[in-house]
Structure 1
């Protein structure tokens, strides 16, 4: 009688261990899948961030062009902005020449 109970316990334990191993494998595969998905999303975020910067640059350029073609007040603002940019470039050149 004890042998049969022992066998049943061992069989039950083997079954539970097998189930745990199976769950572990599934969790491991899911983790790897999520890591891969995370990397893809990070790449996508980086690409979208670059695109956003490019679009912002194009927008600023268009805004500047529009202000140059616009009325005198807009032209004055554009000239001020151009002067500010030229001063910044001059500062950069001075720093590079050091």
Structure 2
């Protein structure tokens, strides 16, 4: 009879542990999802800031009157035009 009682106690303990681990797993999944959302937001912010830097670099390049600055500005404008063309082609698909 004591074996049955021991087995019941062990089963109860295992079920309790299972439920605790299940809850922890759910919490970790939720945390992972939230961190993914944070990462996506930060990646978008990085992209936006890189675009701002490009614009600032472009403006600074246009303000300068030397030949190197003009070449730099032309390259930036050409890159922006290529990016715009890519966007337009993606929209047309």
Displacement of 1:88: 6.7
Pairs within 5 Å for 1:59-74: 59-72=53-66, 73-74=68-69
Query: Of residues 30, 41, 45 in structure 1, which corresponds to 2:39?
Result: 45
| 1:20-77 Cα shifts (integer Å, max 9, x gaps) | 0001001100110010001001100100010000000000000111111124121232
Query: Of residues 9, 16, 38 in structure 2, which corresponds to 1:15?
Result: 9
Q: TM-score, normalised by structure 2?
A: 0.79
- Alignment partner, residue 30 of structure 1: 24
Greater length-normalized contact order (CA 8 Å, ≥ 6 residues apart)? 2
Query: Of residues 74, 81, 86 in structure 1, which corresponds to 2:76?
Result: 81
Unaligned runs of 5+ in 1: 1-6
Which structure has the larger Rg?
1
Unaligned runs of 5+ in 2: none
CA distance in structure 1 between the aligned counterparts of 2:35 and 2:59, rounded to whole angstroms: 36
Q: List 4+ stretches of structure 1 deviating above 4 A.
A: 83-94
Say how many residue pairs are matched. Answer: 90
